[in-house]
Structures are given as structure tokens and as C-alpha cells.
Amino acid sequence: MPSLAEIANDYASMLAAGDTLAAAQKYWAADIMCFEPDQSQSDEPRLVIGKSAALARLKRWLENNAMSDILVDGPFITGDQFALFIDMEITRRATGIRELFSEIATYTVRDSQIVEERFFYG
Amino acid sequence: MPSLAEIANDYASMLAAGDTLAAAQKYWAADIMCFEPDQSQSDEPRLVIGKSAALARLKRWLENNAMSDILVDGPFITGDQFALFIDMEITRRATGIRELFSEIATYTVRDSQIVEERFFYG
């Protein structure tokens, strides 16, 4: 079983390479809980439970948005969690509008799988 | 009972003002769990459980270190947690050595008290 540090480093590398969906498919637990900020302007729910629902939400997001210039700071490991600080440019595919975006992401790992993903931004 | 947003804003303001100990005394739950990174170079334990033990550790840290130029970005609220991004200059009182320090801090709130504090840096 890979260590928390190995998972954190691999996950961070995959996100930095833009392989967000592959990272999710590889590491998300079947019962993952994905939290978005309460004040998120997305129409999606603030909490999605379960890998299939969470992957479906991620796929919808990736269909509507393109990421570029992804910079990942971390992983920073504390207890059973790791955190990333992510900077990127997001292009809304429908409008072509680009914006800079920064977020803190925390991941809780159990049995070598990510059981909770939580994004912080505002 | 104050809302999560009210607690998060007050806590962030108190930290930014350097009132770290007062913030802890005001908001930490009796059974708080405080997590430091595994690779922390401190001699203190990576996990301290309970308000009195956690306050004692904080007081020891404040006796040995002075904080200045504290910049707090946040709070960013997601579910039952808020996150802060903290930049500061730390002066080691014994040596006078100053260093810039950045960390992500996450706080879990239950019944208007902070039940978990977790620092991420590396």
C-alpha cells in the first residue's frame, strides 16, 4: 500500500500536469465526500457524496472550463491529511472569459484512498 | 450562538492582530485536537488533545517566538470548516534569528467552538 506521502506527491503531480480526472479516478474512495465553499457561485451542490456522483460533477466542470498555467504548491502533510495551494487560469469554454483562480485544497486519506476533498476559496 | 462565519471572521481578525492566545482561549473547545505537520522540527508532539494541553503548548511557543508582520488571508468557509492562509515573520527569541513563515490553517467548528486545528506547511 502506498504511503500518505506517496499518494500526496502523486496526486499533486497529476493535478499540476492537468490530469485531474485521472487523479480522481485513481485515488478517490467509493464513499468520498467532496465539499465546495458555501458561497460558491456554481449551480452544483456544496457537498457531493460518492465517487460516481463526484466524478460526474468533475466531468461537467471540465466540459465547461479549461485549466492552464496550473501551479501546485505542496503537498503539505499533517496527520491523515494533505493540503495543496493551487493557482491556475480558468477559461470558461462558453464565453472564452479567462480568470485567475487560487484555492486551498485539503484531502483526507484512509486505506490509501482519498475519502474527503475540501476546497477553500472566496 | 455565533455563526460559523462570525467565528471565522473574529478568529482571523484576532490572529491578524497578534491576539493568538486570546483567540484560542475564546474559541477552542475543551476537547480540541491540534495537529502539526509530521515533519515539523519542533520537539512538541504532532498531535495535542485537550484545551489545557494545547494552550500550554501555545504558551511555550509564544515564550520562544515573536510574531510580526502577520498577514491573514481568509477566512474561507467550506462546510463545517474555515481555512486561513497566514504569512508572518517569526523571531526566535533565544537567537534573534528572523524568518519568513507561511502556513495554511484549517479549523473545524462544532457548537460554536473550534474542535480541530490543523496546520500545513513544509
Q: In this predicted structure, what is the pLDDT of residue B38?
A: 84
Share of chain A above pLDDT 70, in %: 100
Other beta carbons within 10 angstroms of residue A99's beta carbon come to 10
Residue A12 has pLDDT above 90, yes or no: yes
pLDDT per position as a tens digit, B14-41: 999 999 999 999 999 999 999 999 877 7
pLDDT per position as a tens digit, A14-61: 999 999 999 999 999 999 999 999 877 777 889 999 999 999 999 999
- Say which of A36, A75, A81 has its CB closest to residue B78: A36
Residue B105 has pLDDT above 80, yes or no: yes
> Beta B28-35 vs B113-120: how paired, if at all?
parallel
Which residue on chain A is closest to B77 by alpha carbon? A37
Between chains, do A118 and B38 touch, taking CB under 8 Å as contact? no
- Name the residue with higher pLDDT: B118 or A39: B118
Range B70-83 average pLDDT: 97
Q: How many Cα atoms are found within 13 Å in the side-chain-facing hemisphere of B2? A: 14
Residue A3 has pLDDT above 80, yes or no: yes
Q: In this predicted structure, what is the pLDDT of residue A82?
A: 98
Tell me the torsion sign for CA atoms A94, A96, A97, A100: positive
pLDDT per position as a tens digit, B56-68: 999 999 999 999 9
- Say which of A36, A79, A121 has its CB closest to residue B35: A79
